[in-house]
């Protein structure tokens, strides 16, 4: 049975980051070809992915032999060696992979990856560092910032909010943030409606402008 176009994804570099990407894609139902230059890593992954191959991903011929030029998407998860990461993205561009994702370790690294053809560049270390910083200092329980200055955070409900409705506590008017949902520990997430009553010990999922979400969390 043939999978739909794009259901085959190549993950290049099976370190901690690439390994997590590959496992997640597999769980989501994709066919994953893992490629790594290190034979021990290839051995470790051999019975966990759809297919695993030992190859130098900067070698165009090696990638063609593995059929990577026919894949809809590839992820370059080589982080520590800048030259190898850049050459791999360039090779994927040259063999015509339509959608290339790549991990960068610095802003400049990210710019180079984009300039040689990466369509999506991610910065796992710095993004996770920012999140943890917000979680430690900003009194947020979780935090995700999108690249357009928009954030979603899990925060404590304001003091005295328990038993009142979201319309009544008016976080949008007061703080410019929108409540997306409420949650009590161990219970399911409830979608926010104006008439939703804030339970005791509730956490709120709020969304909005990064600065406004931060201001809310700092003051509540
Ligand atoms: P992490 O920090 O996520 O563990 P690393 O950058 O340390 O990432 O590891 C990336 C992986 O990429 C390693 O397993 C390494 O063997 C692999 N790798 C490095 N160079 C190449 C290459 N030219 N071709 C294929 N795989 C490579």
Which residue is listed with tokens 């021990």? 40
pLDDT of residue 4: 56
Which residue is listed with tokens 């993205």? 89
pLDDT of residue 57: 96
- Distance from the CA of 55 to the center of ligand 1, in angstroms? 11
- Among residues 70, 199, 75, 202, which one has the least CA distance to residue 141? 202
- Distance from the CA of 159 to the center of ligand 1, in angstroms? 48
Which residue is listed with tokens 């910065």? 123
Q: Please list the pLDDT of the chain residue by residue as tens digits (220 residues).
A: 455 555 799 999 999 999 999 999 999 999 999 999 999 999 999 999 999 999 999 999 999 999 999 999 999 999 889 999 999 999 999 999 999 999 999 999 999 999 999 999 999 999 889 888 888 876 788 888 887 899 999 999 998 999 999 999 999 999 999 999 999 888 888 999 999 999 888 999 999 999 999 899 988 8
Which pair of tokens denotes residue 174? 């007061």
CA dihedral 101, 107, 109, 110 (to 10 degrees): 20
Say yes or no: CB of residue 40 within 6 Å of ligand 1.
no
Yes or no: say if 118 and 148 are a contact pair by the CB < 8 Å rule: no
Nearest CA to ligand 1 atom 15: 13
pLDDT of residue 1: 43
In angstroms, the CA 209 to CA 217 distance is 12
Cβ neighbour number for residue 176 with a 10 Å cutoff: 14
| pTM for this entry | 0.81
Say yes or no: CB of residue 182 within 6 Å of ligand 1.
no
- Distance from the CA of 140 to the center of ligand 1, in angstroms? 33
pLDDT of residue 77: 97
In angstroms, the CA 126 to CA 128 distance is 5
**Which residue out of 22, 37, 41, 82 has the highest number of ligand 1 atoms within 8 Å of its CB and is therefore the one to mutate?**
37
Cβ neighbour number for residue 44 with a 10 Å cutoff: 15
Yes or no: say if 210 and 185 are a contact pair by the CB < 8 Å rule: no
- Distance from the CA of 74 to the center of ligand 1, in angstroms? 15
Yes or no: say if 151 and 217 are a contact pair by the CB < 8 Å rule: no
pLDDT of residue 85: 97
Yes or no: say if 220 and 196 are a contact pair by the CB < 8 Å rule: no
Residue 199: helix, strand or coil by DSSP?
coil
Nearest CA to ligand 1 atom 18: 13
Say yes or no: CB of residue 78 within 6 Å of ligand 1.
yes
Cβ neighbour number for residue 177 with a 10 Å cutoff: 23
pLDDT of residue 39: 97
């Amino acid at each position: 049975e043939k999978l739909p176009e794009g259901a085959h994804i190549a993950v290049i570099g099976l370190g901690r980051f690439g390994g997590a990407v590959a496992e997640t894609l597999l769980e989501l139902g994709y066919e994953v070809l893992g490629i790594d230059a290190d034979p021990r890593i290839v051995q470790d992954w051999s019975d966990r992915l759809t297919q695993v191959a030992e190859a130098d991903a900067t070698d165009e011929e090696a990638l063609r032999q593995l059929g990577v030029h026919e894949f809809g998407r590839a992820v370059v998860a080589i982080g520590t060696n800048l030259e190898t990461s850049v050459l791999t993205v360039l090779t994927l561009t040259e063999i015509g992979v339509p959608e290339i994702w790549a991990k960068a370790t610095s802003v400049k690294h990210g710019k180079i990856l984009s300039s040689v053809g990466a369509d999506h560049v991610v910065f796992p270390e710095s993004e996770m560092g920012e999140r943890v910083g917000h979680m430690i200092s900003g009194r947020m329980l979780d935090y995700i910032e999108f690249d357009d200055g928009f954030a979603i955070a899990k925060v404590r409900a304001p003091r005295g909010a328990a038993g009142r409705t979201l319309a009544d506590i008016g976080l949008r008017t007061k703080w410019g943030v929108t409540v997306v949902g409420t949650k009590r520990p161990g219970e399911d997430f409830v979608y926010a409606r104006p008439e939703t009553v804030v339970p005791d010990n509730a956490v709120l999922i709020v969304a909005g402008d990064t600065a406004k979400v931060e201001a809310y969390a700092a003051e509540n």
